[in-house]
Amino acid sequence: MKKQDCQKIRSSINAYIDGMDDRCNREEVEMHLRACVECRRMVELSKSAGEFMKQNVRKMPREVHDNTMRIVRNYGVQVQPVFYQSWVGYTVAGFIAVCLIIGLIPQVVVNSSGKKVGVEILTPEAGAVVYDSKTDVCARVKVKVKGATVRVYVDKQDVTSTTEFVDDYLWYRPIKPLKDGYHSIDIQTVDRKGEIVAETEFSFIMVSK
């Protein structure tokens, strides 16, 4: 059997293995397989690999499920308040957006100290207008340094002790409702020597209902 013949028929062989071929195609492939040992071997191997995969679907460990649900529940419900949909909400949001654009309010402060951004902020978004005065701060720590710890500051106050850490994620929910206005979050990764190895700073605007 010529190698060119095998190459020509390979795509048809795959459809044949997956049972996605038509009758005409099937006859052609079967004829080729009768004559070609190499292709016949490939079909057998592919089928056994497929069978192996089917039989070895592994169940996800329960703790992974539980951890994920814990993260989800901690993140909580993010339902947009009716306020946002009213004309007052749009006006306030529009005004703040204009302020952000023309630079009256600092929009996002990243790497102010020239450090690597070590955290991916999941909520609230940098520069966002937030309507829930007890909004969660949720982030994922990306930079991992052996022996390093993560510190969380809200409006320059250390809130690390009231921040919850689960795997790579961290949550902070304000104990007291946040006041209206500009708030800053600073998340630092500090090594054993106490030096900041990564830092992410951002701000958001609080507008209560």
Which residues sit at the interface with another protein, rule CB under 8 A? Answer: 10-11, 13-14, 17-18, 20, 41-42, 45-46, 48-50, 52-61, 64-65, 67-69, 71-73, 75-79, 122-123, 140, 167-169
Nearest distance, CB of residue 83 and another protein, angstroms: 17
What does the alpha-carbon distance between residue 191 and residue 115 come to, in Å, rounded to a whole number? 13
What does the alpha-carbon distance between residue 152 and residue 158 come to, in Å, rounded to a whole number? 6
Degrees, nearest 5: CA angle 108-110-115 = 170
Nearest distance, CB of residue 63 and another protein, angstroms: 8
Using the minimum distance from each CB to another protein, give the nearer residue, 72 or 102. Answer: 72
Using the minimum distance from each CB to another protein, give the nearer residue, 39 or 185. Answer: 39
Using the minimum distance from each CB to another protein, give the nearer residue, 48 or 149. Answer: 48
For residue 158, the cross-strand partners are: 153
Using the minimum distance from each CB to another protein, give the nearer residue, 18 or 180. Answer: 18
Nearest distance, CB of residue 45 and another protein, angstroms: 5
CA 149 to chain centre: 22
Residue with tokens 């293995």: 17
Element (H, E) at 197: strand 196-206
The encoded tokens of residue 171 equal 């949550």
Nearest distance, CB of residue 174 and another protein, angstroms: 20
Degrees, nearest 5: CA angle 73-82-207 = 80
Using the minimum distance from each CB to another protein, give the nearer residue, 58 or 176. Answer: 58
Alpha-carbon dihedral 178, 184, 189, 192, rounded to 10 degrees: -80
Nearest distance, CB of residue 62 and another protein, angstroms: 10
